[in-house]
Amino acid sequence: MARPGSEHPTQLELEILKVLWDESPLRVREVRARLETQAQRPLAHSSVITMLNIMFDKGFLDREKVGKSFHFSPRVRKEEVAGGIMNDLLSRLFDGSPSAMMLNLLETSNVDATEMTELRKLITRKAREQEK
């Protein structure tokens, strides 16, 4: 039996979205070239076409026929995808506790002093916004 589909992009779908968030619209061969450069692994042209069409069917991409080729662009924003994945992770792994999730991130990552200062500023700003 096949595994049920996820509402979130797979790893390869995320790689494709990152390419298209950086620059779009792109043709299949342009997406493939950027993926091969970033992933440093060969990808079959037909595999990239298949993935782009699957992502179009899932609603992640738009496509437009220009001449003999399709041009692809993201239909979803990076913030929208990131928010969905983060909310899913927060719910499934941290029982909805943002503080538990942040604590885990701080304890398992190398957060340098500059990043820690930036995080404090962001938390302070968010707290002020909620007080209003």
Q: Give per-residue pLDDT as tens, 34-54.
A: 999 987 778 899 999 999 999
pLDDT over threshold 60, residue 4: no
In a shared domain, residues 65 and 87:
no
Indicate whether 3 belongs to any domain.
no
Count of structural domains, the chain: 2
- Which residues are within 8 A (CB) of 97 and not within 5 positions of it... i.e. 6 or more apart? 90
Q: Measured between alpha carbons, how far is 39 from 52 in angstroms, rounded to an integer?
A: 17
Last residue of a domain, one of 28, 59, 74: 74
Indicate whether 22 belongs to any domain.
yes
In a shared domain, residues 119 and 105:
yes
Tell me, what CATH number does 16's domain have? 1.10.10.10
Indicate whether 114 belongs to any domain.
yes
pLDDT digit string (tens) for 85-105?
999 999 999 999 999 999 998
Return the ∠ at Cα 45 (arms to 42 and 46), rounded to 5°.
Answer: 120
Indicate whether 29 belongs to any domain.
yes
Predicted confidence band of residue 131 (pLDDT cuts 50, 70, 90) = confident
Range of the domain at 50: 11-74
Indicate whether 1 belongs to any domain.
no
Indicate whether 63 belongs to any domain.
yes
77, two tokens: 């924003």
In a shared domain, residues 103 and 122:
yes
Indicate whether 100 belongs to any domain.
yes
For the four alpha carbons of 57, 61, 62 and 66, in that order, the dihedral sign comes to negative
pLDDT over threshold 90, residue 6: no
Indicate whether 96 belongs to any domain.
yes
